[in-house]
Structure 1
Amino acid sequence: MKKKVLIFSGGRQDYYLLKPLVSELLKINTLEAGFLLGETHFSKLYGKTINQIKKDKIPVWGKIYSKIDGDSPLNIINKMANTSIKVSKILLKIKPTVIVLLGDRYELLATAQAAMLHNIPIAHLHGGESTEGVIDEAIRHSISKMSHIHFVSTKKYYTRLVQMGENPRYVFNHGALGIDNIKNLEVLSKKKLFNSLDLNINYKTFLITYHPLTLDQETSNLQLNNLLKVLLNFKKTNLVFTYPNSDTYGLAIIKTIKKFIKNQNIKSIFVENLGSTRYLNLIKYSNLIIGNSSSGIIEAPSLGIPTINIGKRQNGRVQAASVIQAKGTKKSILDSIKLGLEKEFIKKAKLKKNPYGKGKSALKIAYTLNKIDYKNIIFKKFYDINFYK
């Protein structure tokens, strides 16, 4: 009897990372694999990625729809409750051997709770990491404690999970899946890509993604406004903004950026969903990655592009030498951008040294998921470390 591997994807933020893993799982004849899709895949606001999934022809075993709008804490709690109930019904129907979760978003926590109560083993990717400026920090560690198998992206995160009481027998450092997409990237010509986005090929290009600080909305808004004011200093520059994730207070960020683009006479666009191929090619052809997205920390170093990481959202993550930390003030952001454009720093970034691995993570994870014996794995024992030896 084949093992059933159910992979949950909440939206565009994890689909493109998980796609190569599903492809590798489908090559193993002792496994079946399929997606369980979260609500933002069906949202027009966030690019309706269900259309891309249909084109990719990857098996979909379950879909979660929601008519709950808004991003206030109460709206998010209602979405989580809706997700838990619907995931529970799908799990009863599919009866997977294991469910795979990547990351630290609220819908993942709701899914993990449902799986835990149905005694279904959970394999968690990107556990052990730290993002001190957002509620994702607490969610990530909560999911780790509910999980039975862990795939971490660096040695430091491996150590942290063991420190949290997870059995090292089930903690695997296979690197970050995002690097696989870079290694297998279909390279688009700069001219073709820029024409498709109506960008000026002769200008500098800044790729900007700013997500909300879910623990501090006031600071989040202040830092975004500081960033937008600083960007006005850079003439003959393409400003490519990508949509934030579906987080608490994310709609306010969308509104602010739309207003900025409408009122300023500068070359700028706001894109709901670039897709993996266009997004990674755009990083490749950009001068800087700016904002507070994990892609600037994890993927951009492997493409040799400097990152300006603003504020506390990514505090605690392992970072490459190509990442510049800006405090969030106008002066700090401006100084950081100027540093990222200096020849010596560009030269350092082009070394492409990345602590998140060298690729083939999907292959390693698929192999591990296949070889694991799931019998009795749900009976976890806290792994104690003797600090006093």
Structure 2
Amino acid sequence: MKIMSVFGTRPEAIKMCPLIKELQSHTEITSVVCITGQHREMLKEVLETFTIKPDYDLNIMKKEQDLFDITLNILDKIKAILIKEKPDLVLVHGDTSTTFSTALACFYLNIPIGHIEAGLRTYNMTSPFPEEFNRQAVGLVANYHFAPTEQAKKTLLAEGKDPKSIFVTGNTAIDALKTTINPNYTHPILEWAGSSRIIMITAHRRENIGQPMEHMFHAIKRIVEEHPDIKCIYPIHMNPKVKTLATTILGENDRIKLIPPMNVIDFHNLLNKSYLILTDSGGIQEEAPSLGKPVLVMRDTTERPEGIEAGTLKLTGTTEEEIYKQFKLLLTDKVAYNQMSHATNPYGDGFASKKIIEALLQNKKD
């Protein structure tokens, strides 16, 4: 059985690499890895961490690329590879433009598609953008839906997906933590933080760039000025618009570290050392609960309602006052903090990759 895995961004790589390692451990499976290079340097370090060497690199990344560039270049370059390799199945992950473009190419060539992290929805095409469209579109053509939770399965069933095509596996993000987390981890930035409570920040979503992100940063700045016992670490996304906003509003505060994107080992271990996390990211909403860290989600919607229901996540929206209020609450109310940090993680047990492959092999036998 030949299985091709295709991904192109750093978050995809973090979640796909444990699955690829598991694929490579099965002699009855020929594993082919194709990266699109939607992210470049940020992707490279994840591959090195998991010691994975791609068979194909579409190398599409270019300066100031937009969604048209990404989609057109992937469709143009991946066709020949799919025709040459003739995979029995192509695995894609989540909701990126790489995922959508690859699934579309496979659909045109009548190649079966397995969708990892299937069934996440906000049903708002502008939040997140373009991810909500991407994952719904992939769901239309996927042959296998690997849902991380029972809630995601229910969503897929409500959309009319064949029950036999849906498998609840947990999230491969949790699998990745088994490789990256080191209880004896040290880093110079931890020395800078000293005895302060560490706050990890990530903010990069397209729909938040502009006034929503300004609100986020102003709320964070106010809290840091009021609470001398905290220090913030913000690995800034490579988008120059994000960097400019962050530097303008947060750059002069000596208790806020604005740093380049971190490799996955440093990032996961600093998450593990932090007190709480403020983010508009998707993956962190799954990783942080596994580490017992409360997450304030600076968005108006989330495709991960399980975390909200479990109490590990809280939606703040993107207004300055609401972010400020929720941030302050977790810093000053120990009961509220403990309720979130001790909530049950709804995203699996770290064996999602094994479950995905078991489902595929069983389906082949059937």
TM-score (norm 1): 0.84
Matches within 5 A, 1:9-28: 9-28=7-26
The reply to whether residue 201 of structure 1 matches residue 194 of structure 2 is yes
Name the counterpart of 1:311: 299
CA RMSD of aligned residues (A): 2.4
Name the counterpart of 1:65: 59
Name the counterpart of 1:230: 222
Name the counterpart of 1:256: 245
- In the alignment, is the contact (CA less than 8 A) between 1:4 and 1:33 conserved in 2? yes
Cα gap change, 1:70 to 1:354, in 2 (>3 Å): same
Give the aligned residue type for 1:223.
H
The reply to whether residue 323 of structure 1 matches residue 313 of structure 2 is yes
Of 159, 162, 167 in structure 1, the residue corresponding to residue 162 of structure 2 is 167
Higher normalized helix content (fraction of residues): 2
Cα gap change, 1:196 to 1:229, in 2 (>3 Å): closer
Name the counterpart of 1:387: none
SS at match of 1:294: coil
Displacement of 1:333 in angstroms is 1.2
Cα gap change, 1:138 to 1:260, in 2 (>3 Å): same
- In the alignment, is the contact (CA less than 8 A) between 2:38 and 2:61 conserved in 1? no
The CA deviation string for residues 54-88 of structure 1, in whole angstroms up to 9 with x for no partner, is 464324121111253215xxx32122101111111
State the distance in 1 between where 2:328 and 2:189 align: 28
The share of aligned pairs that are identical, in percent, is 21
State the distance in 1 between where 2:293 and 2:365 align: 41
* Structure 1 portions without partners, runs of 5+: 376-389
Name the counterpart of 2:354: 363
Give the aligned residue type for 1:130.
R
Displacement of 1:301 in angstroms is 1.2
- In the alignment, is the contact (CA less than 8 A) between 1:305 and 1:346 conserved in 2? no
SS at match of 2:305: coil
User: What is the aligned length?
Assistant: 358
State the distance in 2 between where 1:63 and 1:87 align: 10
Cα gap change, 1:158 to 1:364, in 2 (>3 Å): same
Matches within 5 A, 1:1-389: 3-43=1-41, 47=42, 49-54=43-48, 56-66=50-60, 68-71=62-65, 75-131=66-122, 132=124, 133-135=127-129, 136-189=131-184, 192-193=186-187, 195=188, 199-214=192-207, 217-233=209-225, 234-244=227-237, 250-275=239-264, 277-314=265-302, 317-319=305-307, 320-341=310-331, 342-373=333-364
- In the alignment, is the contact (CA less than 8 A) between 2:218 and 2:249 conserved in 1? no
State the distance in 2 between where 1:374 and 1:113 align: 27
The CA deviation string for residues 284-339 of structure 1, in whole angstroms up to 9 with x for no partner, is 11011102112342121111111111122526632230222213222211211122
* Structure 2 portions without partners, runs of 5+: none
State the distance in 2 between where 1:280 and 1:146 align: 33
Displacement of 1:151 in angstroms is 0.2
- In the alignment, is the contact (CA less than 8 A) between 1:99 and 1:120 conserved in 2? yes
Name the counterpart of 1:385: none
